[in-house]
Amino acid sequence: MIRILKQIFRTGIVTEPLPTEIDSEITEVGTKLEDAIRKRFRRSLTIRQVDSGSCNGCELEIHAINNPIYNCERFGIHFTASPRFADMLLVTGPVTRNMEIALRRTYNSTPSPKLVVAVGDCGCSGGIFGESYASLGSIDKVIPVDVFIAGCPPTPAALLHGILRAVGNK
Amino acid sequence: MSVLIDAITPVLGAEFRRDEGLHPSSIPSCIVSREKFAETAKAMKSVHALLAAEWASDETLFGRGFGIYACYRWGAEYLIIKTEAPFDDPTFPSLTKRFLPAYRFERQIHSLMGVTPAGHPDLRPWIKFEDWPEDAWPLRKSFDASKPMPRVFGEYKFVRAEGEGVYEIPVGPVHAGIIEPGHFRFQAVGEDILNLEERLGYVHKGIEKKFELLSWQEGSRLAGRVSGDTTVAHSLGYCMALETMTGCSVPERAQWLRALFLERERIANHLGDLGAICNDAAFAFMLYQMSRLREIMLRTNHKLFGHRFIMDRIIPGGVAADIDADGKELILKELKKLLKEFNKLVTIYDENSSLEDRVRDTGILIPDKAREICAVGIVARASGLNLDCRMQNPFPPYDRIELNVPVLISGDVHARAWVRVEEVRESIRIIRRILETLPSGEILTEAGIPAPDTSGFSAVEGWRGEIVYWLQAGPNSEINRCMVRDPSSVNWLGLEQAVLGNIVPDFPLCNKSFNQSYSGHDL
Ligand code: SF4
């Protein structure tokens, strides 16, 4: 136990302000966005992540925004296990034929107003997998999308920025 | 002397025919009649070989029928045995009775290529879903992959257990966390798991078919996206298979840099896994600490190589990112800090008795079972199998660096975690050695285009385990077939075995300790 506490104190708080290029944009809209989360979502934005066919690269970066360095909880963002509690679906793609039905069901289980954010080049356009017998391509081919976050995979900073953008939009 | 060739020679006698198509013949390969296909499997079994992969290729463009290939491994040796089936009689004798992993390989061949393994006990579709038209065989040349398929009615028949107090828990495809989709069906009594049936295929993106539409150069980008967490090892596997076909000799410096990338990928993933395993045993402290260390590595990657996961930096003929003196300095400094902190965390892991209680004796895959399913990688090494392609099929610099491969025999969650701990330390040591002795010179050369009707093979030790690629060039030197075998294709079978008799709440923990890829399996 002592070792654990020591390690915790030694580590301190490692959460960083966002990188400057993104940070400046955030300061611009920053207060407004925090306001939005506060008012619209009562200080907390709850996200359900759905992998509708990704290569898992995008998921790794979504994990990263939960790490202590990006610490998305400071913006009141947290991830939930059930779409029924979610304000936002964070969907990675391309939507496979085998996931299409599950994705539609998840979307239908999410209460309004549901925000949908498509993540990654695959989520935005189908990426390298494109459209085929097995892949339907971008997320918006299957459910309505509010914001697209490009990148293969998008960096954690880009993800945070995109999520905040989606909140600001509505 | 080759154990594998010696074993099949008496079976084949005069029939023994080397397949000259595999170029260069670093991996021996032979063609046998359909009758002998199962017999050779028996001979392989008798010398304790393992089945590494089994796949089919549509060879109608060459005026042949289907080629069915089985690849066996014994220590450092590989042997590919091929048989052919005419187009109008697409069957071959099943190997499932001899080799358990053939169970899924053959279901996959049957579902996606439409070639039937005669004598297979269970021909329910695999990866192909019940709502696909029955005659949709995407890997056949005659299949038009560009069009969406209609949905038909059908039902997947799960294995059932009946009796007093037996109930069923369906989980997925959309899981509770930030993970890939798949379906698990448990039969349980009280809290004890009687049976687990996996149902995968949800992230089938048609990757193997897609390869056939790409140029050899573009192929490495797609290989890098078979499983995003293993992007380095997959693109390396693809490139190495291609390079054996064209006879391209990759510059030394490029090979060392490839090893550097591979080891960095291994460390980053192991750190993430160790944190996640502890988190699933309700020890969130470790998740945050480990993910912090992981983030440090990813940032260094980004700074030095331009991508956090070093995606698209391994390309046919070499690498697309170099390192200078400052970069080396940066990595050495990073590793020093990393190792110091990592060792502290490992002590905490080791001394935490409530954690120990969860991870020890949980989810045991006994060595016999691991051998039976022909497990690879971390899962194999945690269950007593000393398998590591870096040691058994080394490319430079691994042929010069002696490698300590951790092997444990307890086969439980702890063993799978501990193999990772040891491998992180070992990879740090390897990276230091690489940086000390990195040769100078070019980092890229012309990869070339393979000759028609040749094929190439590679086996690379990714962080999960052995990745196998097999490439075949068509009549116009295009990609006729790209077979990808991620470690997950065999190791998923291990999870089904390991959870038996465990309690349902321990499933997430067992699953995390395996951490197999869905995308790499579903393709
Ligand atoms: S965008 Fe890139 S990382 Fe994300 S799922 Fe597609 S290929 Fe993988």
Here the tokens at position B490 are: 């065999």
Q: Are residues B368 and B486 in the same domain?
A: yes
Distance between Cα B382 and ligand 1 center (Å) = 30
Give ipTM to 2 decimals: 0.89
CA distance A151 to chain B (A): 11
Q: Single out the residue in B81, B97, B118 at which a domain terminates.
A: B118
Out of A50, A131, A153, closest to residue B174 by CB? A50
* B347–A67 CB contact, under 8 Å: no
Closest residue to atom 7 of ligand 1, CA basis: B225
Distance of CA B143 to the CA centre of its chain: 26
Q: Is B85 inside a domain boundary? A: yes
CATH of the domain at B252: 1.10.645.10
Q: Are residues B105 and B233 in the same domain?
A: no
Neighbours of A3 (CB within 10 A): 13
On chain B, the residues whose CB falls within 8 A of the CB of A132 are 145-146, 205-206, 209-210
Q: Single out the residue in B96, B118, B140 at which a domain terminates.
A: B118
Q: How many domains does chain B have?
A: 2
Q: Is B86 inside a domain boundary? A: yes
Q: Which of A63, A121, A124, A155 to mutate to test the pocket of ligand 1 (most atoms within 8 A of CB)?
A: A121
Q: Is A3 inside a domain boundary? A: no
* A4–B348 CB contact, under 8 Å: yes
Whole-angstrom Cα distance, residue A116 to residue A109? 13
Nearest ligand 1 atom to alpha carbon A61: 3
What's this model's pTM, rounded to 2 decimal places? 0.92
CATH of the domain at A33: 3.40.50.12280
* B178–A49 CB contact, under 8 Å: yes
- Torsion on CA atoms B129, B135, B139, B142, rounded to nearest 10: -150
Domain, as residue range, for A25: 20-169
CA distance B490 to chain A (A): 18
Q: Which of A50, A55, A136 to mutate to test the pocket of ligand 1 (most atoms within 8 A of CB)?
A: A55
Q: Is B20 inside a domain boundary? A: yes
Neighbours of A17 (CB within 10 A): 9
Q: Is A40 inside a domain boundary? A: yes
Residue type, B274: L
Judged on CB neighbours under 10 Å (0-12, 13-18, 19+), B141 is middle
Q: Is B182 inside a domain boundary? A: no
CATH of the domain at B68: 3.30.460.80
A98 inside 8 A of chain B by CB? yes
Nearest ligand 1 atom to alpha carbon A120: 1
Q: Tell which A residues from 140 to 159 touch B, by Cβ distance under 8 Å.
A: 152-153, 155
CA distance B520 to chain A (A): 8
Q: Please provide the distance, in angstroms rounded to a whole number, between the alpha carbons at the two ends of chain A.
A: 46
Which residues make Cβ contacts (< 8 Å) with residue A65, sequence separation at least 6? A72, A77, A156, A159, A160
Domain, as residue range, for B279: 228-517
Q: Is A76 inside a domain boundary? A: yes
- Please tell me which residue of chain B has the smallest CA distance to A107: B174
Q: Are residues B242 and B361 in the same domain?
A: yes
Q: Is A140 inside a domain boundary? A: yes
A134 inside 8 A of chain B by CB? yes
Distance between Cα A152 and ligand 1 center (Å) = 5
Q: Single out the residue in B118, B150, B185 at which a domain terminates.
A: B118
Q: How many domains does chain A have?
A: 1
Q: Is A7 inside a domain boundary? A: no
On chain A, the residues whose CB falls within 8 A of the CB of B144 are 133
Q: Is A10 inside a domain boundary? A: no
Neighbours of B341 (CB within 10 A): 18
On chain B, the residues whose CB falls within 8 A of the CB of A110 are none
Whole-angstrom Cα distance, residue B31 to residue B37? 9
Reported as type and span, the H/E element at residue B493 is helix B488-498
CA distance B484 to chain A (A): 14
Phi and psi, residue B198, nearest 5°? -90, 145
Q: Is A105 inside a domain boundary? A: yes
How do beta strands A88-92 and A45-51 pair?
parallel
**pLDDT tens track, chain B, 523 positions:** 588 888 887 777 766 667 666 554 468 888 888 888 888 888 888 888 899 999 999 999 988 999 999 999 888 888 888 899 999 999 999 999 989 999 999 999 999 999 999 998 988 889 888 889 888 899 998 988 888 888 888 888 888 888 888 888 888 788 888 888 989 888 888 888 888 888 899 999 999 999 999 999 999 999 999 999 999 999 999 999 999 888 888 999 999 999 999 999 999 999 999 999 999 888 888 898 899 999 999 999 999 999 999 999 999 999 999 899 999 999 999 999 999 999 999 998 888 888 888 888 888 899 999 999 999 999 999 999 888 888 877 788 888 888 888 889 999 999 999 999 999 999 999 999 999 888 988 888 888 899 888 888 899 999 999 999 999 999 999 999 999 999 999 999 999 899 888 888 888 888 999 999 999 999 9
Q: Is A55 in the pocket of ligand 1 (CB under 6 A)?
A: yes
